[in-house]
Structures are given as structure tokens and as C-alpha cells.
Amino acid sequence: MQNIAILGATGSIGRSALAVIANHPDRYRAGALAAGSDAKALAAAALAVRPQAVAIADEAKRSELAALLAEGGWKGEILSGPGAAEQLAADARFDTVIHAIVGAAGVRPAFAAAAAGKRLLLANKESVVCGGEILMRTVRESGATLLPVDSEHNAIFQCLHAAGSSGRDAARIWLTCSGGPFHARPEVDLARVTPEQALAHPTWKMGRKISIDSATLMNKGLEVIEAHHLFDFPPERISVVIHPQSVVHSMVEFADGAVVAELGTADMKLPIAYCLAYPERIAGDVKRLDITRMGPLTFSEPDTGRFPLLALAFEAISSGAASPIILNGANEVAVEAFLAGKIGFAAIGALCRDALDALSPAEPSGLEDILEIDRMAREAARSLTARHAI
């Protein structure tokens, strides 16, 4: 019986994780749930599964959460504040951590779970983007197990595992990308795109920040950096391909030219179930892929001229460990500014470029250095926002 802490329990991945756990009560228990500020959704989830502990990052929502839980007759432990998720991640009661917090707020909990030697099912790509080799070294030294939940990285993991290590040194990763709402629409003036248009993802149902990252292709840029660290592949052996049908979740090309791909429906319960049961497989309550009805599959190269953030991600890998942290922090500020109507859609990439040009910090040697570079990046991006104001 795995006793699981779910960080980001009220988001789309957290809800999918709870659904998988509910289908296998003999194997898994949701022992702890953590959320950012949605007290009502967290309370509803907790009353449904009766965990040992809950945590909410927004201290101001603690009393509301406590009242809702008391009304439902739940008397477990309540943690609150910015460090609450980190505390659950390190708690010895929970041997598995599903980490689905969005953004750099997930960096500390990822390090906490890794240092504690946990089985870490990671959907927070920013912790790998920012933590880089320092996080991967922490995983190795503590004896933790890191399993990627993101559909693309989970697909790569499955392909590498299925094919074994033969020819891996000469292999190539092919990261597939839906292209977001604008890649197939060259007639759209990106400078005039509204938040509502950018949030309308054609395939996946995701949170606001990830949806904007998908529209700018920054989500794929972050995934390139993540793949570089997770699988120890140099950037010149990582390629991105636009695949709007989102059936092939990613591929690995081996030394002999053979390509192994993972296909499936666009449902995050698939990679979550794979990671929970690994190295076994368990029955999944998902719509099955009907090969005879899925239609044509198309692949094309991304337009990095129109979507420059993808190219910036490749550049950041080659520029040192600080650059991905700067790029990630600046992007989070830029996305917030776009959603608030302060800058245009096309200015997100320009603001990130400016932040990279403005900063040249020393390479990080540990977690606190990583967080300090992230703080500097955000501060620089906020000061540069006026340059790109609407």
C-alpha cells in the first residue's frame, strides 16, 4: 500500500491522480493533499478521501479550510503557509509524492522529496528546469526514485525502458508538441492575441499558466530543458516536432534508426497510473485509443521565428545553469503580466529575452542559490515590464 502525498491536489493533474487512486484502493491511499489557495476544492477532496493531513499555501485561507473540514467531520492535521507543501513532501509517513504544483513554487517541495529519498512522481517541470543537475544529484545521493508524469517525458521514459539501453548513446529524443492554438493559424496577428484566445488549448485541459506556455511554445521549451536533465541527453540530440493530434506523446530514435513511440489518448491518468505502478502496469479507467478511427497523424517543424521562446530554451541550456532559472522566472512574470492585460502576447518572449540579457549571476551551487537567481530574474522582469507595456 503506497501512502501518497499529492501536491497540487486541486489542479487537473491532482484530480486525475485522485481518480487513479480511487480505482485501486487496495494499492494506493491519498494520505495527504496540498493546494495553493482554493480552500473549497481542497476541503471537498479531503472529505471525499479522508487523508491524514492537508496543507494550504495561502495562510489567509486556513480558517476557511478548517471550518469546511470540521463541518464535514474530518479531524486530521492541517498545515498552512508557503512551506506547508515542502513539509508534506519530506514527511516520513508518505512514501510517494505526486508533485503537481505549478511554477517555481514547486522547487522547494521537489528538493524536499528528493532529499528524503521519496518515490517522486514529478509533474512540476520547473523544479527540473531550475534545479538541473543539482536536483538530479540530490535524487541519486538520497536513493530517491524520480518518475516523470508529464505526458511527453513519461512517453520518453516508457520508450527508453521498453527498448533497453542498446544504442542509447546515439539516440535522439523527439518531443511532440500540439502547437497550441496559433501554430497552425499564420493569419493570426500574435501582437493582438487576447488572453481568452491564448487560453483556448485545442487538445488538453490545463491551468491558465500552462495553457499560455503552450500557446507561446514555452511549455515545450521548458520540456526540452527538462528532458536534457532527466535523460542526460545533450540539446543537439533533442528535437521538437509539431503533432496537433496529440496521439503520439513522444518518441525515441535509436542508433540503428529504429523509432519507438508511445501512443495513447490525451488523458493524464495514463502517465500517472504508469508511474504509480512502475515497473508494473495497472488497468486504467481511460478511453482506449482506437487505431482504426484515430485518423491521419501529421508532424511538422516548429516555427521558432514566430515563437522565439522555444529557441531561447535551447540557448539557455548552452549558456550555463543560471540561464534556465532566469528564463523560467522571467516567463512566469511575463505570463502574469499578459493575463493581467499589461503586455501583449508577443511581448512575453521579448521580455524573457531582455531578462536573459540583463542578468549574469554566478552559477548556482545549491538550492538557496537557485532560489536567489529566481528572485533576481523576477525582479528584473518586473522592472522590464514597462518597456513592453500595452
pLDDT tens profile 119-150: 999 999 999 999 999 999 999 999 999 999 99
DSSP letter string over 173-199? EEEEE--TTTTT-TTS-GGG--HHHHT
pLDDT above 80 for 259: yes
CA gap 311, 301 in Å, rounded: 12
* SS3 assignment, position 5: strand
Q: How far apart are CA 285 and CA 16, in angstroms?
A: 10
State which amino acid sits at residue 39: A
Residue 284 confidence (pLDDT) above 90: no
Cα atoms in the Cβ-side hemisphere of radius 13 Å centred on 171 = 24
Task: Please check the confidence at residue 276 and state whether its pLDDT lies above 90.
Answer: yes
- Each residue's pLDDT tens digit, 65-124: 999 999 999 999 999 999 999 999 999 999 999 999 988 899 999 999 999 999 999 999
By C-alpha distance, which of 21, 64, 19 is closest to 42? 64
Q: How confident is the model at residue 331 (pLDDT cuts 50, 70, 90)?
A: very high
* 165 confidence band (pLDDT: 50, 70, 90): low
CA geometry: angle 10, 16, 18, nearest 5 deg: 75
In this structure, the strands spanning 77-80 and 53-56 are parallel
Query: Region 259-265: what's the mean pLDDT?
Result: 94
The whole-number pLDDT of residue 167 equals: 65
Following CA atoms 244, 247, 252, 257 in sequence, which dihedral angle do they give, to the nearest 10 degrees?
-90
Q: Is the pTM of this model over 0.95?
A: no
Average pLDDT rounded to a whole number, residues 20-39: 97
Mean pLDDT of 253-260: 90
Give the mean pLDDT of the chain. Answer: 94
How much is the pLDDT for 370?
Answer: 97
Q: What angle do CA 325, 250, 329 make, to 5 degrees?
A: 15
